[in-house]
Chains A and B, each alone.
Chain A
Amino acid sequence: MVDAVLNSGDTAWMLISTALVMLMTIPGVALFYGGLTKKQNVLNTMFLSLIAFAITSIIWILYGYQFTFGQDIMGIIGNPANLLFNGIQVDALATLAPTIPATVYIAFQMTFAAITIALISGAIVERMKFSSWMVFIVLWVSLVYVPIAHWVWGGGFLAQLGALDFAGGTVVHINAGVAALALVILLGKRKDISLLPHQLGYSVLGAALLWFGWFGFNAGSALSAGGLAGSAFLATNTAAAAGLISWIIIDYVKTGKPTLLGALSGAIAGLVAITPAAGFVTVQAAVIIGLVTSLVSYLGISYLKPRLGYDDALDVFGIHGLSGIWGALATGLFAAPFINSLGTGLFYGNPGQVMVQAIAIVVVMGYSFVVTLILGKIIDWTIGLRVEVKEEVEGLDTNLHEESGYRI
């Protein structure tokens, strides 16, 4: 363990990383999703991410951080000292990152909670009531994100078991993907389920900002400014590039034409898959992780989704859920002890790690799915999840917000 002494280099990098991860949610996710929806829903789609960031920010400082990262109680939840942010000293160092201030660590972790719930919004666009979405954010962050983040990162039972998740493959991506699946099962299909992006240019900007911000997400998860951060940075970029190339190769094979949306989807799938592995695997392994992950997500979206018939509008489960699962397993395969002494995978003589990863995946999927289903059902019974058919057909922007994206 490093000495608990403030390091200004680490602190500067973590402040920047925090801002980078914030950029992923707004405008990254907002633009990425906003471009993919129909034009009469563009504002509502972007708004879902904005409100997610705002509400999560408040929850996080009042009690979210405290329950996630407080002293572990029986592996289940953190002991919430410092509720409502009382008693957190300006000069205090973070327990889990002893070279940076606690306040910086809290802010960094806040941006992770916010992007996780914002990612879910991609599945439920074009039909969910805005009021219900706000209630869902509060319930879901409190009862799903906080406990799972504690189990994996806050010293809970999955951390004690030895599950490896460098930057959020299970906590963020599998969690968001599976919750998205549960919520769309409750919401049902939209009247028009076609994916016809109204402005793919927005999605290019959004995906590029996600890629850029992901350097803070993954390299920032080293919690220090050194070799490990550099290694994670390069692995992240490598997997994104490999994922992008892999997806357009699939496009070529299937239709003979590369698609821009395919390239964006492949880059995001690569970034998702490398997230749990970024600070554990070599750059060479990142190439393989990125190449394979696009195939996993492509097959899920083209074959699994139509067969099972769920309406995951922008493929949150297909990309974040499935590539997250592959990434978490791949971490158990490729984790190299000479990159990070905390992780040794199957290919370096520790076959048990794959099993530990599988347990973490199953636990997170099971908990996230069941609890999201229960929370969604409660909201459906009380205030209703879905907008009126008339509102859905005319578009959510004018009906829910009395605004429209385009004047022409």
Chain B
Amino acid sequence: MKEILAIIRPNKLDDVKDALEKIGCHGITVAEVKGRGRQLGITESYRGSDYRIDLLPKTRLEIIVKDQDAEEVIETIVKTAATGDIGDGKIFISPVEDVVRIRTGERGEKAV
């Protein structure tokens, strides 16, 4: 099993959610987060003074999938969340040791 942690633009959330639903990926946890990448944010100007806004609002998706589904989910997120501009975000993939469905106590892939 894999954990897919995707940081995307907040205004892309609906597109990504719909696209994931279409490929049968339903389970998803979403968080409003703030962060910055290589560009260290953006610049805003008030009364002639420039300020660097170095933490920008982003949306973080956490998705746990079976190993064989991971590539499709990743591709879908990349396809729908990309605009080609700086600030599109990143995806982090890592292995998951075990999963437990709290209601039934099921373990492993059955619980995903």
A195 touches B45 (CB 8 A): no
Residues of A within 8 A of B46 (CB): 195-197, 259, 261
Which of A196, A197, A301 contacts B48 (CB under 8 A)?
A301
**Chain B residue at smallest Cβ distance from A297:** B47
Q: How far is the CB of B76 from chain A (nearest CB, A)?
A: 30
B92 within 8 A of A: no
Residues of A within 8 A of B45 (CB): 255, 257, 259
A265 touches B51 (CB 8 A): no
Interface residues of B in 29-61 (CB under 8 A from A): 44-49, 51, 53
**Chain A residue at smallest Cβ distance from B51:** A194
Residues of A within 8 A of B49 (CB): 194-195, 302
Q: How far is the CB of A31 from chain B (nearest CB, A)?
A: 17
A298 touches B51 (CB 8 A): no
**Chain A residue at smallest Cβ distance from B44:** A196
CA distance A255 to B46 in the complex (A): 11
A165 within 8 A of B: no
CA distance A28 to B44 in the complex (A): 25
| Most chain A CB inside 10 Å of its own CB: which residue of B47, B49, B53 | B47
A315 touches B47 (CB 8 A): yes
Residues of B within 8 A of A302 (CB): 47-49
**Chain A residue at smallest Cβ distance from B53:** A196
B47 touches A301 (CB 8 A): yes
A191 within 8 A of B: no
CA distance A254 to B51 in the complex (A): 15
Interface residues of B in 75-109 (CB under 8 A from A): none
CA distance A296 to B48 in the complex (A): 13
10 nearest A-B residue pairs (beta carbon): A302-B48, A195-B46, A194-B51, A261-B46, A301-B47, A255-B45, A196-B51, A265-B47, A261-B47, A301-B48
